[in-house]
């Protein structure tokens, strides 16, 4: 089958690679334009662009898609199907309607739960035990199309969003190959989504990582896991940002955000109904380090309140 692939970040790469390995003709990859990154603001290619170039697939990076801006290219490429994985832009109707077999999306949740931009992070933040990936036919609205296949997986108790992201990306690669095969054979199901069961996963912002110490230790730990590797959980200590990368639950008591001191090799902070033990942190201008290393070189006063 002639496949046009549309994707941008690393989540999409296993799907692109799996389709190529399965013998489908990838006519091109469409990705977001290169963007400046890092302190030097150097232009960085997208993960999909790099992967496509590695397997010898032409890459297109249109700034805009609306107003038939990509129509002539579609006519040149003549895809039978368009596969979309974390592309990052809404597809206009002329693209959705173009291929014979439609546009199919690989989504990082068990739809209709967690429609939207950040399904993987939000399910971890919310403390879910099960998640997965879904393939679906795309329609005009956000993640509302008919479901083709789902694949479930358990979320590890201490698994971060970044770790889960990598696992779901690989799972998505396997599922999209199964999906395209079923579509090609005429055996792919079309299952309507239950809109009343839908939940949404809004885009992550830096402020999403701000810890509310009035929450329980489990809620705080889920947040720490869910915003790792970005934007990273944080609180304020003596007017400076303290980033927190890993923590575990404990049974200390005190005012929400109160520093209870060192406990073993960890830093204990009180919250509602218990406490957390910070295992890995970073202070402004410093390096990411274990709490033990930080406590060896810095004093931190019990009784102070993290804001």
Q: With contact defined as beta carbons under 8 Å apart, do 12 and 47 qualify?
A: yes
pLDDT at 146 over 80: yes
DSSP β-bridge partners for residue 305: 258
- What's the mean per-residue pLDDT of the chain? 96
Residue 162 has pLDDT above 90, yes or no: yes
Q: What is the pLDDT of residue 301?
A: 84
Q: What is the pLDDT of residue 42?
A: 84
pLDDT band at 211 (very low <50, low <70, confident <90, very high): very high
In tens, the pLDDT along 116-141 reads 999 999 999 999 999 999 999 999 99
CA–CA separation, 235 vs 71, rounded Å?
48
DSSP string, 27-39: EEEE-PPPEEETT
Q: CA-CA distance, 227 to 161, in Å (whole number)?
A: 7
> What's the confidence (pLDDT) of residue 175?
98
pLDDT > 90: percent of the chain: 93
pLDDT digits 0-9 by tens, 171-199: 999 999 999 999 999 999 999 999 999 99
Sign of CA dihedral 73, 56, 102, 153: negative
Residue 9 has pLDDT above 90, yes or no: yes
pLDDT at 3 over 90: yes
2-16, 143-157, 290-304: the lowest-pLDDT one = 290-304
Distance CA 121, CA 230 (A): 9
Task: Tell whether the torsion through CA atoms of 163, 43, 104 and 144 is positive or negative.
Answer: positive
Give the tokens for residue 154: 């358990």
> What's the confidence (pLDDT) of residue 275?
98
Q: Mean pLDDT throughout 75-87?
A: 98
Provide the token pair at 20: 């190529």
List b or e across 6-39, with b for residues whose CB sees 16 or more CB atoms inside 10 angstroms: bbbbbbbbbbbbbbbebebebbbbbbbeeeeeee
| Sign of the dihedral defined by the CA atoms of residues 72, 102, 65, 47, in that order | negative
Report pLDDT for 38.
72
For residue 41, the model assigns a pLDDT of 76
pLDDT in tens, 272-294: 999 999 999 999 889 999 999 99
pLDDT band of 252, cuts 50, 70, 90: very high
pLDDT for the residue numbered 61: 98
Work out the average pLDDT over 68-97: 97
Check whether 25 has a pLDDT greater than 80. yes
* Banded model confidence at residue 302, pLDDT cuts 50, 70, 90: very high
**pLDDT grade for 300, boundaries at 50, 70 and 90:** confident
Answer whether 235's CB lies under 8 Å from 257's CB. yes
Is the confidence at residue 12, as pLDDT, over 90?
A: yes
pTM value?
A: 0.95
Residue 127 and residue 222 in contact, taking contact as beta carbons nearer than 8 Å: yes
All domains of the chain in start order, with CATH:
2-201 (3.40.50.170), 206-297 (3.10.25.10)
Nearest to 193 by CA among 117, 114, 83, 121: 114
């Amino acid at each position: 089958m002639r496949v046009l692939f549309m994707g941008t970040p690393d989540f999409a790469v296993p799907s692109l690679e799996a389709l190529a390995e399965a013998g489908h003709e990838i006519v091109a990859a469409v990705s977001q334009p290169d963007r400046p990154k890092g302190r030097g603001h150097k232009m960085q290619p997208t993960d999909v662009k790099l992967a496509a170039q590695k397997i010898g697939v032409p890459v297109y990076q249109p700034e805009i898609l609306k107003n038939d801006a990509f129509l002539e290219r579609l006519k040149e490429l003549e895809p039978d199907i368009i596969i979309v994985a974390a592309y990052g832009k809404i597809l206009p109707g002329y693209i959705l309607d173009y291929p014979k077999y439609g546009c199919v999306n690989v989504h990082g949740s068990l739809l209709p739960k967690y429609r939207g931009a950040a399904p993987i992070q939000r399910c971890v933040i919310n403390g879910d035990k099960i998640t997965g990936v879904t393939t679906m036919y795309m329609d005009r609205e956000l993640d509302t199309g008919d479901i083709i296949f789902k694949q479930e997986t358990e979320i590890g108790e201490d698994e971060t969003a970044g770790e889960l992201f990598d696992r779901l990306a690989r799972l998505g690669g396997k599922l999209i190959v199964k999906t395209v095969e079923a579509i090609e054979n005429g055996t792919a199901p079309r299952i309507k989504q239950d809109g009343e069961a839908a939940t949404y996963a809004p885009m992550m912002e830096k402020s999403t990582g701000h810890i509310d110490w009035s929450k329980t230790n489990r809620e705080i730990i889920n947040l720490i896991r869910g915003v790792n590797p970005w934007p990273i959980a944080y609180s304020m200590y003596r007017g400076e940002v303290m980033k927190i990368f890993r923590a575990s639950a404990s049974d200390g008591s005190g005012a929400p955000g109160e520093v209870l001191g060192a406990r073993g090799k960890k830093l204990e902070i009180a919250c509602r109904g218990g406490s957390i033990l910070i295992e890995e942190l970073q202070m402004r201008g410093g390096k990411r380090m274990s709490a033990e290393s930080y406590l060896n070189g810095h004093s931190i006063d019990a009784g102070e309140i993290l804001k």
